[in-house]
Amino acid sequence: MPSESLRWETLEALKNSPKGKLKYSPDWLENGEDILAGCIEVSSLSPLSGQILKRLSPRPLLKTRSLSSCVRDTSPEISEDLAAGASVPISPRQISSPTSPPPVSIHAEEDEQKAEEIKEDSVVSPVASSPPAISVLSPRATQMAGCIRMCEQKHKAKAKAELSLRQEQQERLVATAANCEAEQLKRYEELMELKQRQEYQSMRDMLEKETQESLGRQEKLREEHRHRMKILNLRLREAEQQRLREAELERQRQVEGRERHRAINAIQEEVLQLNQLLQPRPSTLTDPALDHTPYITRGNQLCSQVSEVVPASADGQFPSVEDLTVAERALQEMRSLVRNLQDEVAQAAERKRKEQEEEEGKKKRHEELKAQQEEQKKTAARSAKEKAKKEGLQTGADESTLKWYNALQDAASQCAQAFDELSKAKDTQTKKLKMELQKAATTPVSQIANISGAPLKEAFEKIDKLLSSRPVTSAGKTVSTSQHPQGLEFVSYKLAEKFVKQGEEEVASNHSAAFPIAAVASGIWELHPNIGELILAHLHKKCPYAVPHYPPMESGTSVEDYQKILGYRVDDSKVEGQDSFLKRMSGMIRLYAAIIQMRWPYTGKQGPHPHGLNHGWRWLAQILNMEPLADITATILFDFLEVCGNALMKLYRGQFWKLILLIYEEYFPRY
């Protein structure tokens, strides 16, 4: 506030005044000095007191007191005069009092109160009716009061001048700003009006342009539509004609397919009826010279061949011409089997009739001739068997071969039972270990195809380490068969199964993959013989023709189970197609033929092959001693000779060429 700022200026002026610089000692009374010794002086008025007296308001004159009485009197009357605005010197007792404030501040407050009272008096009563009261002050105080008043007037005049100047400047700035704003507003309105006119013009031009373009597009679309309609009409006519042609072809195909279907059904019915005729009659069961087993086995095989094409036609597909040809050929062979059996039955009946007649004649002779007749009967039976053997080939494997086959299957079953606990484990840790072991065993075998050199050697070493119970890294994890008591049996079984599966799948589609797979398999076989036995067991189970063995159909065995025994895949009562079956058998026979002639090139052993070419010669001789089967015998014989025929020729030389001549002159004509 202005009054506060002036008050502080007044206090600053009083502080710098001569009285404000006076120094008082609190020890004056104790020292016995007179405090007012230097203050008693003759009162005199200041030259500026006239101006101060002019502005004082009219007040009653103070009572005339002497300087000494004024100084020393501390009555209430003096206090009232001080409150009314009189200027009375301060009593020395009040100055020397230890509880009173410093003298400088007291005088400053009195001077400020006096100045305010003078100002109030001048405002309230500018014109005095009585003479002004004379303030009895010291000359210095009067001079200071005058200076204060002049300073106040000077500051007020200066403030009024600055305020008027600032008001004028502010009015000029406001007027200038208002004019500028008015001009800018006018220009802005003109600019906005111009922009609106331009936008309106551009919008109108754009609308006209879009209208022209839309008309052009519409015309172009009409032309394209007419052109497309013409093309669609042409395509519709062509599609209709094509549909009619396809419908006619489909009708003809269905008619032909139904005819073939009916023909195959009739053939199957006749084959089944003829197969019933192959069954032994009660009257011939006691005849030791008549053996129906070869005829029954071959009849069951022919029934299986015919039944392969029937499920496909039952699913809505019609049999092909090749299927009909196969069925007709099976029917003809079945008829020949029935005729041969009937001839043999007739011969047996004739022999039996003759024997009965001879027995009736012998009964009339002496009992001594009975032994001789028995001997003649045995001789006749042996001759009949030899004659039957000369007339046809074997329909099954030799006794020694079957014994070897059964021993391998028993070994595989025992190995599977050995890790039964690991395969049926329920806890998560054992299941995880089983999966890691299986992956470590099968992954290297899966990677063998057409590789050679270092990658092939690396795969072999991984398998060898795993079978030797050493740690192997697979899929970033280290596993070993020693982590579980049944780990080695499990890995051996799965490894042998994977080798055979590679032949069934990989070699069947890629014939050249047989040799690298066979090289690794023979090397593992040489180091770990039990793996070779398991490979043979899995191979014989999936491909009995690698024994060779034509399993007969036993009594009580269903057709589906018998087809599984023969090597066919049966899924949901649907038998595998003949082409797929022959392809798989071909892959496994090729793998077997490659194993018997291949050896691991990086081994240091010089001993004989664990399963060498002598087994190949045995297999070839046995397959030629058995009655050929349609499709399968020709397929496996061709694949076997193509893979290892050269090796057999180098080893057996002239004997091998005799075998080839036998195939050409005697075996082929039996088809």
Q: What is the pLDDT of residues 16-28, one digit of tens each?
A: 887 777 665 666 5
Residue at 486 is within a domain: yes
Contacts of 496 (CB under 8 A, 6+ apart): 531, 534, 535, 537, 538
Residue 550 CB burial class (10 angstroms; 0-12, 13-18, ≥19): buried
Whether pLDDT at 87 is above 70: no
Instruction: Count CA atoms within 13 Å of residue 14 on its CB side.
Output: 21
Q: What's the angle, vertex CA 352, arms to CA 348 and CA 356, rounded to 5? A: 175
DSSP lists the bridge partners of residue 472 as: 479
Domain that holds residue 350: 274-281+289-354
C-alpha span between 518 and 612 (Å, rounded) = 12
Residue-level pLDDT at 92: 37
DSSP lists the bridge partners of residue 571 as: 574
Question: Are 628 and 485 in the same domain?
Answer: yes
- Asked if 309 and 326 touch (Cβ cutoff 8 Å), the reply is yes
Rounded mean pLDDT, 587-604: 87
Residue-level pLDDT at 240: 92
Contacts of 9 (CB under 8 A, 6+ apart): 151
C-alpha span between 545 and 547 (Å, rounded) = 5
Residue-level pLDDT at 227: 92
Question: Are 334 and 475 in the same domain?
Answer: no
Question: Are 447 and 574 in the same domain?
Answer: yes
Q: Which of 516, 530, 529, 531 is closest to 599 using CA atoms?
A: 516
- Asked if 53 and 146 touch (Cβ cutoff 8 Å), the reply is no
| Count of structural domains within the chain | 2
More confident residue, 524 or 369: 524
When pLDDT is cut at 50, 70 and 90, the band that residue 86 belongs to is very low
When pLDDT is cut at 50, 70 and 90, the band that residue 331 belongs to is confident
pLDDT tens, position by position, 534-561: 999 999 999 999 998 888 877 777 888 8
Q: At 329, which amino acid appears?
A: R
Rounded mean pLDDT, 371-378: 61
- In angstroms, how far is CA 605 from the centroid of its own chain? 48
Whether pLDDT at 175 is above 70: yes
Rounded mean pLDDT, 468-476: 83
Residue-level pLDDT at 338: 83
Residue at 131 is within a domain: no
Residue-level pLDDT at 306: 78
- Asked if 455 and 519 touch (Cβ cutoff 8 Å), the reply is no
pLDDT tens, position by position, 97-117: 333 334 333 344 445 454 554
DSSP lists the bridge partners of residue 627 as: none
Residue at 449 is within a domain: yes
Question: Are 300 and 411 in the same domain?
Answer: no
C-alpha span between 325 and 264 (Å, rounded) = 10
Question: Are 503 and 641 in the same domain?
Answer: yes
Residue at 417 is within a domain: yes
Residue at 559 is within a domain: yes
When pLDDT is cut at 50, 70 and 90, the band that residue 198 belongs to is very high
CATH number, domain containing residue 433: 1.25.40.510
**H or E element, residue 571:** strand 570-571
Residue-level pLDDT at 119: 46
- In this structure, of 11-20, 71-80, 503-512, the range with the lowest mean pLDDT score is 71-80
Average pLDDT, the chain: 77
When pLDDT is cut at 50, 70 and 90, the band that residue 643 belongs to is very high
Tokens of 495: 């490894």
DSSP lists the bridge partners of residue 575 as: 570
Residue at 125 is within a domain: no
- Asked if 576 and 555 touch (Cβ cutoff 8 Å), the reply is no
- In this structure, of 82-86, 207-211, 525-529, the range with the lowest mean pLDDT score is 82-86
Contacts of 89 (CB under 8 A, 6+ apart): 39, 67, 70, 71, 138
Whether pLDDT at 374 is above 80: no
More confident residue, 474 or 393: 474
Question: Are 496 and 591 in the same domain?
Answer: yes
Question: Are 460 and 330 in the same domain?
Answer: no
Number of other residues whose CB lies within 10 A of the CB of residue 170: 10
Question: Are 335 and 413 in the same domain?
Answer: no
DSSP lists the bridge partners of residue 574 as: 571
Contacts of 449 (CB under 8 A, 6+ apart): 506, 510, 513, 516, 517
Residue-level pLDDT at 554: 78
When pLDDT is cut at 50, 70 and 90, the band that residue 164 belongs to is very high
Phi, psi of 474 (to 5 degrees): -140, 125
- Asked if 52 and 142 touch (Cβ cutoff 8 Å), the reply is yes
Contacts of 385 (CB under 8 A, 6+ apart): 289
Number of other residues whose CB lies within 10 A of the CB of residue 222: 10
Question: Are 410 and 490 in the same domain?
Answer: yes
Number of other residues whose CB lies within 10 A of the CB of residue 453: 7
Tokens of 10: 């007044």
Question: Are 349 and 410 in the same domain?
Answer: no
Give me Rg for the CA atoms of the chain: 68
Phi, psi of 645 (to 5 degrees): -60, -40
Whether pLDDT at 311 is above 70: no
pLDDT tens, position by position, 266-308: 888 888 888 888 777 655 545 555 667 787 888 888 887 777 7
C-alpha span between 182 and 204 (Å, rounded) = 33
**H or E element, residue 151:** helix 139-278
How far is the CA of 196 from the CAs of 187, 188, 192, 209, 210, in angstroms? 14, 12, 6, 20, 21
Rounded mean pLDDT, 391-420: 83
Check: pTM over 0.75? Answer yes or no: no
- In angstroms, how far is CA 167 from the centroid of its own chain? 81
- The dihedral through the CA atoms of 111, 114, 120, 122 has a sign that is negative
- Tokens 């405090």: give the residue: 35
C-alpha span between 524 and 386 (Å, rounded) = 45
Contacts of 340 (CB under 8 A, 6+ apart): 295
Question: Are 488 and 611 in the same domain?
Answer: yes
More confident residue, 160 or 48: 160
pLDDT over 70, % of the chain: 73
C-alpha span between 137 and 86 (Å, rounded) = 9
Question: Are 339 and 405 in the same domain?
Answer: no
Q: Which of 305, 246, 244, 240 is closest to 271 using CA atoms?
A: 305
Which of residues 299, 320, 354 is at a domain's end?
A: 354
Residue at 492 is within a domain: yes
Residue at 35 is within a domain: no
More confident residue, 623 or 134: 623
Length of the chain: 671
